[in-house]
Chain A
Amino acid sequence: MTKQKSSARFRFSGVMLFLALFFFLVPALQAGDYRLYMLAAGVPCAMLLCCTILARAFSLDRLILALSLFFCSVGIASLAMTAPDTALVQAVSCGIGIIVLIVGAILIRSLSGSLLTAISAAFLGLLLLAAKLIAPTFTLPATQPALTLLLIAFAVLLSREGPISAAGLGIAAAVLLMLRGETADALIWGLTILLLLFAADGRLLVVLPSLAAFALLFYGMYSMQTQTLVYPEALSADTLKAVGVLGADLLPEGLAVPETGSLFSRLLGHYGLVFTGLTVLLYLPLILRGTTVASCARMRFHAILAMGICLLLGLSTLASVLSFFGFLPFTGLEMPLLTTSLPSLCAHLFLAGILCGISGRNDSDLAEDAHLAMLAK
């Protein structure tokens, strides 16, 4: 069984590396740009290094790690064709993100679900959200890092203190997000904590009042913000035909490409509908692996945190895709791991690192159980 596992992982890593090489080598040969050659050499090497040496050294989950690195490389590749300088900057950002991923994996092993952790994380998270309201000149995109900290605090409170304090923290965060005008993030956060409350507690006495509170909150804010909620302009038939199945070297007209933020538009324009659809589908194994890690966790805190990460990443992905095609009245939503914003990228990779750390902890618990069983014989 160990040989089969390692050969399957080897094949999977090989496929990911081949794809990463293909993304950068072909444009490098076409354009002859030295920056693209640097990316063609650097990105697959970094992936190989992380998936082999670092994964073994820090006991990281290889599937989660490989998928996270693949999304990072796809983000760099979507910039490489038309903006090689930005692609280099994105590669450096991903390098910083990998360090944050390792920090997250190490931290979760030593982090206990104590009240001090909850209070510190909650305080920092709420402060980051309230910073823009207190000081309007604070323009750093701190939403994703704040949600990361708040999720950790929520998981500790839910596992240790009970649902009431956790729900209170969740509602406070949702209010702050709405006051900042980030309705989409507030909706995703609200759904995440409602589903976590249902999963961890399950009592109707807890879930129904929380649902009612969130419904009232969202209804109140929706009625105040109806004018600002505008459905994004849907992609026209000409744009979709120009994008085609395999994409184009130059981005077609009608495809709104922001200078910063989500790379989804660039990915669609350069690599076409089929590849983009397959990339979105690759989020599913990442989330399924996360839910498996959550189900196998021994500590309640780790289980709730892992499940919360999966819900947050999954709902963000779905909201981003649906809003891009005009099904939701939100604009500028970012896909997890496919963003040029350094704080958001680091926050998502930190969450992936936490998942890797919990998976490593599960494996070490299993190994300890096997050792104890052997000693008992």
Chain B
Amino acid sequence: MKQMRSRFRLLTLLIVCAFLLTIVLCTGHVLKTTGISLSSLSSISLPVPGQSASPDPSALPDPSPAPESTPDPWAGFSVENTPPGTDNPPEEEYNVVGL
């Protein structure tokens, strides 16, 4: 009877682990399906004491770049100039579908 009880404890542990694993699997599946990543959840920044909550606007880079400063990756591409069959975006390694 003693041995049976110790095996019962082992089975209890197995059940608990199975439950926790199931919860983790299902939570991960839901997060993956909805496109929520753990890094996006952890990227919420809290204000540090002693510093202002809102950053100084003058320290931030200008969000709207000058038109001539940024090279346009699509500069060499146009509907008329593109030869047939080569209308793929330049970053082909990210084109998973292959269209």
Instruction: Using CB atoms and an 8 Å cutoff, list the residues of chain A in contact with chain B.
Output: 195, 198-200, 202, 234-237, 240-241, 273, 277, 280-281, 283-284, 287-288, 291, 294-295, 300, 303, 307, 310-311, 314, 318, 321-322, 325-327
Check B33–A294 contact: CB distance below 8 A: no
B14 and chain A: residue at smallest CB distance: A195
Q: In the complex the two chains form, what is the Cα distance from A291 to B19 in whole Å? A: 15
B1-58 with Cβ < 8 A to chain A: 1, 3-5, 7-12, 14-16, 18-19, 22-23, 25-27, 29-30, 33-35
Given contacts A241-B34, A281-B23, A322-B25, contact A199 B11 (CB under 8 A): yes
- Could you tell me the distance in whole angstroms from the C-beta of B21 to the nearest C-beta in chain A? 9
Check B34–A318 contact: CB distance below 8 A: no
- Checking B8, B10, B25 against A327 with a beta-carbon cut-off of 8 angstroms, the contacting residue is B25
Residues on the B chain within 8 Å of A237, using CB? 33-35
Q: In the complex the two chains form, what is the Cα distance from A236 to B33 in whole Å? A: 7
Given contacts A199-B8, A295-B5, contact A240 B23 (CB under 8 A): no
Q: In the complex the two chains form, what is the Cα distance from A116 to B90 in whole Å? A: 79
Check B30–A294 contact: CB distance below 8 A: no
5 contacts between A and B (CB under 8 A): A235-B33, A281-B23, A288-B12, A326-B29, A327-B29
Q: In the complex the two chains form, what is the Cα distance from A321 to B4 in whole Å? A: 29
Residues on the A chain within 8 Å of B8, using CB? 199, 291, 294-295, 303, 307
- Could you tell me the distance in whole angstroms from the C-beta of A276 to the nearest C-beta in chain B? 10
Check B11–A318 contact: CB distance below 8 A: no
- Could you tell me the distance in whole angstroms from the C-beta of B67 to the nearest C-beta in chain A? 37
Q: How many A-B residue pairs have CB under 8 A?
A: 74
Check B15–A287 contact: CB distance below 8 A: yes
Q: In the complex the two chains form, what is the Cα distance from A146 to B4 in whole Å? A: 26
Q: In the complex the two chains form, what is the Cα distance from A290 to B13 in whole Å? A: 13
Residues on the B chain within 8 Å of A300, using CB? 1, 4
Check B5–A311 contact: CB distance below 8 A: no
B10 and chain A: residue at smallest CB distance: A199
Q: In the complex the two chains form, what is the Cα distance from A314 to B15 in whole Å? A: 7
Check B23–A198 contact: CB distance below 8 A: no
- Could you tell me the distance in whole angstroms from the C-beta of A210 to the nearest C-beta in chain B? 15
Check B30–A273 contact: CB distance below 8 A: yes
- Could you tell me the distance in whole angstroms from the C-beta of B40 to the nearest C-beta in chain A? 15
Q: In the complex the two chains form, what is the Cα distance from A307 to B12 in whole Å? A: 9
- Checking A200, A241, A325 against B4 with a beta-carbon cut-off of 8 angstroms, the contacting residue is A200
A198 and chain B: residue at smallest CB distance: B7
Check B16–A325 contact: CB distance below 8 A: no
A159 and chain B: residue at smallest CB distance: B4
Residues on the B chain within 8 Å of A200, using CB? 4, 7
Given contacts A240-B30, A241-B34, contact A318 B7 (CB under 8 A): no
Given contacts A195-B11, A240-B34, A241-B34, contact A318 B18 (CB under 8 A): yes
